Structure formats: structure tokens, C-alpha cells
Amino acid sequence: MHIDWWTLGLQTVNALVLIWLLARFLFRPVARMVAERQQAAAALMSEAAAAKAATVAAQAQATAEVARFAQQRSQLLEAAAAEAAALKASLESTARADADRLRATAQTEIDAMRRDAAQADAARASQLALDIAARLLDRLPPQARVAGFIDGLATALANLPDATRAQLDAGGDGLRLIAARALSRDELASCRAALAHVLGRDVALEASIDPAVIAGLELEAPHAIVRNSFRDDLAHLKTELLIHDTNHA
């Protein structure tokens, strides 16, 4: 390969001239401008840092003031809340005591009214049952007021414990047979026969009259009482009504 040294030398000289021109008219002005810009930026940054420091100081002072005001406000609120709580507790205690006293008084009055109402209802129901029974019995023949209850009396007697039945006429004491009216000879004989069948022996009966029986028969002995009568039914009805009204009062 052949190298043209003249051409290479001229190109080298041209390159050096170009570098000198760039350094003289481009690099130095640019470097000066960059230095000036760096100084201006440093001044701005210094001013910004000073402003930031002043702002931070002012913010810290403001935060301290806010914290002091918040603490004072919290103390005032706590004191007010404590005073309000004490007042509320006092008012609630007084109101609760008054309410309990009024409630107890009202409950006592209500209970008394309920008992009175239940007793009045039971009395009205009993009277109504008596009136209904009287009207129904007026439509029945007189024999039905006795004959229809003999078997029921014997059944009730049979339901007694054996020991109780064995002592009914112990000591020779007779049994008292109660009816709402005087029993005829046949009715009394039917009663003796029914009772003897249950007891397995004949017993002495003393007939007695009690209009309150209304209808039916009642047997009284020193150690037992056997009832199959409207009076007994009405007594049970009254008791059930009282229990029902008391439970639902």
C-alpha cells in the first residue's frame, strides 16, 4: 500500500486548525456560559435552602403552637366530659331510683287490679254457670238430678285408694249422703246398692239435703269426701278460671 505523506500532512494541519478554531470560538464561550449558569444555579439553590430553612422553622413553630392549643383543648374537653359524666351518672341514678319506685308502685297496683279482675271474672263465670245450670236443670225431670249422678259417684268412690275405702265406715260411723233435695226411697236404695257394689259390703247412709249442691250427689265420711255434683264442678271451674287469669295476667 502506498501512503501519500503530503496529503496526510495537509489533513493533519487542517485538523489542528479546526481544533484551534473550535476551542477558540466554541468551547471557551460554552464553558464560560456553563460556569455562569452553574454560579446562578448555586445562588438560586442557596436562596432556596435559606427559604426552606425559614419555612421549616416557621412550620415547626406553628406545629408547636397547634400542639399546645390541642393539649389545652384536650384538657378542657376531658374536664368537661368528666363533669358531664358525673352529672349524667347522678341524673341517671336519680331517674333510675324514681323509675324503679314508680314501676314497683305501678306493678303492685296492676297486680292488685289483675287479682280483683280475675276474682270478679271467676265470680261472674260461676254465677253464669249457676244460671245456666239452673235453666238446664229446670228442663230436666227431678229424677235426672239424682239418678244421672249415682254411677258417677260410685266411680269416684272406686278411684279412692283401697286403704281409704276400707276406713270409710270404720268404727260403725255411717256415711252422709248429700243431695240438693230429699231422696226418694228408690233413689236411696239405688245409692246403697251402687256403693255396696264398689265397697263389697253394705254401708249405713244418712241422707242430707243441701240446695247448694244444685244437682248430683256428695258422700262424706270421717276420712274422705267423694263428690259428683254441679257444686263441685263449678268449684273446679272457678279454680281453673282463676289460674288461667293469673297465668295470663
Q: What is the DSSP letter of 183?
A: P
Task: Give the model confidence (pLDDT) of 68-124 as tens digits.
Answer: 777 887 787 788 788 878 878 887 888 888 878 888 888 888 878 877 777 777 677
Average pLDDT over residues 169-182: 80
Domain segments of the chain: what residues?
1-110, 140-247
Question: Which of 106 and 28 is assigned the larger pLDDT?
Answer: 106
Residue 127, H or E segment: helix 28-138
- Rounded CA gap, 17 and 76, in Å? 85
**Contact at 8 Å (CB) between 191 and 182?**
no
Burial letters 131-165, b for 16+ CB under 10 A, else e: eebeeebeeeeeeebbbebbebbbebbeebeeeeb
Question: Which of 188 and 39 is assigned the larger pLDDT?
Answer: 188
> Cα(first)–Cα(last) distance of the chain, in Å?
133
Task: Give the model confidence (pLDDT) of 195-225 as tens digits.
Answer: 999 988 888 889 999 988 888 899 998 888 9
**Least-confidence region, from 10-19, 160-169, 181-190:** 10-19
